[in-house]
Amino acid sequence: MISLQNSFCTHQSLFPNASIQLGLCRHGQSRRGVSFLVRVEQVSTASAISQQDRPGRRQVLAVGATTIPCFLLSHLTSSSFAAESKKGFVAVKDNNDGYSFLYPFGWQEVVIEGQDKVFKDVIEPLESVSVNLIPTRKQDIRDLGPPQEVAETLIKKVLSPPSQKTKLIEATEHNVNGKAYYTFEFIAQAPNFTRHALGTICIGNGKFYTLTTGANERRWEKMKDRLHTIIDSFEIVNV
């Protein structure tokens, strides 16, 4: 497994221009602190292939989930086990930090230091979604610059380590309930894998929100509609 950690504010020596370009800095304390870590996890090719070749594993997981007794489901009311609001997806709503999104049914929640929420596929390690929060004095995502400029800075300085070759495919702006979001698509190429990813960012509640999701390039065509559903579902609310 390769674990790559990039700090956004507290380790400016790694990315000295990131906090300047994006106008993000330490002020006060957040529930998770101000460290913005990004970990890219990858198993060896042989391990990944062996997992994929195991017959029926995903089906067994699905069957196991459907056999949970109803009386247990009634007690699973945490934000990571909300009622499905779209077929094949589960809704997450974090009332404390003020955001919500959907993730594919069957993905498992994992805990990664520095990230607020992470869900990932148990078989395909590059298929995941994560949410990161850091404090900011900015009031609107447009205060940081145009979509392409901000997305390129994030991808190169924060979301990918210097050893990876990155390419921004598209960056756009859209509005949800009067709040501006930037959404972007990019590719990050490492020596042993290529990840095709989507991201969306927004500012609200004194925080800079980043949601990223993606998949191995070889599975992009199969996964892209589901990944776009995740991105399109992300919304922040005032708290």
Mean pLDDT of the chain: 76
* pLDDT at residue 58 is higher than 80: no
CA 156 – CA 140 distance, rounded (Å): 22
- Counting Cα atoms < 13 Å in the Cβ hemisphere of 14 gives 19
Nearest-CA neighbor of 200 among 149, 151, 134? 151
For 32-46, how does the pLDDT look when each residue is reduced to its tens digit (9 = 90+)? 433 333 333 333 333
Model confidence at 197, pLDDT cuts 50, 70, 90, reads: very high
Distances (CA, A) of 80 to 13, 66, 89, 102: 35, 17, 12, 10
CA 206 – CA 210 distance, rounded (Å): 13
* pLDDT at residue 135 is higher than 80: yes
Q: Name the superfamily (CATH) of residues 18-236.
A: Mog1/PsbP, alpha/beta/alpha sandwich (3.40.1000.10)
- Is the pTM value of this prediction over 0.85? no
Model confidence at 24, pLDDT cuts 50, 70, 90, reads: low
Model confidence at 86, pLDDT cuts 50, 70, 90, reads: confident
